Amino acid sequence: MIKPDAAQSVCSPFWGVRLPENNAKSAVQGSKVDYLLLNCEVAMAEQQPPQDVDADECLSSYIYIYSPDLLKDKVAFITGGGSGIGFRIAEVLMRHGCDTVIGSRNQERLAEAAKKLTMATGRHCLPLSLDVRQPQTIAAAVEETLREFGRIDILINNAAGNFLCPASALSFNAFKTVMEIDTMGTFNTSKVIYEKWLKDHGGAIVNISATLSYRGQALQVHAGSAKAAIDAMTKHLAVEWGPNNIRVNSLAPGPISGTEGYRRLGGLSAEAGGHFHTIPLQRAGNKTEIAHSVLYLASSAASYVTGACLVVDGGSWLTSANSLPALLGIASQSAKL
């Protein structure tokens, strides 16, 4: 490559590279292809997804995008943190100096996850059993958190339930259960932590949402309704709690490999059938990518962002098929919860 001359150079029309003035014209003509290939390689390298593993295991190595001290000595409370996206969110926050509380109904899974997270990051992870549908269990977990850490800076509402099912075959109880876990669970946890800590100290809330309601995704009336309510709730709480220095945002993932949702909602079938070519970025996302996006929203990097929904789906909802007959082929004809 031609190196710029500090004294005499002009701007190349290609990617902001500066060339020596006396050779600018010939250099641009002679090196256009070289510059194009080089910058394409750089761009492709930058667009490669970060490392991830499908299982609920910590990453064997990690490349920092932000400062490792971005969340130094903060405390994050993460529902659904024992597996899937929640597990990776906990890991990435901990790798940036944060201690965490992971909560769900499965204490055995939580304890195992906490052990892995602490060993990989050197930070403290407290596993606490709770049911987001029952505010009293959340209150008990929050009180234990405050006894252990003395603060809660970040809340990640990640607990959720989903499956594919046509509305005509969906039981009343199945619809109710998804609404209770996703929507009521988000409100319950937010309100308890607001009252017990955030109201007087400020903080950040990130609600895990979805794009399902944007165009009426087939076989997803239960989850789409629940997530649409969460997006509305995010805006309402951002307005009401902003004066308390609380930021509230939501994040809507697309198809994310290595998750229960990916297996239940047809991700494996789409992958096997080569259907991801319809996504603008031509692939599924991974859990580390979602965790990085949560890290941004939860950190001071997003200090003036509230009431927003960050869509992290590679453009999937804009272009992917919404075919009822195709989805029926991989759906359960009934859902009984």
Please give the Cα distance from 245 to 81 (Å, whole number): 25
pLDDT in tens, 134-182: 999 999 999 999 999 999 999 999 999 999 999 999 999 999 999 999 9
Cα 212 from Cα 216, distance rounded (Å): 6
Which of these ranges, 46-50, 97-101, 244-248, 258-262, has the smallest mean pLDDT? 258-262
Q: Sort 316 into a burial class: Cβ within 10 Å, 0-12 / 13-18 / 19+.
A: buried
Most distant CA pair in the chain, distance: 76
Least confident of 41-45, 234-238, 270-274: 41-45
**Domains (range + CATH), the chain:** 9-46 (no CATH), 75-328 (3.40.50.720)
What is the tens place of the pLDDT at every residue in 16-50? 333 344 444 444 455 555 545 555 444 445 668 99
Cα 151 to the center of its chain, rounded Å: 23
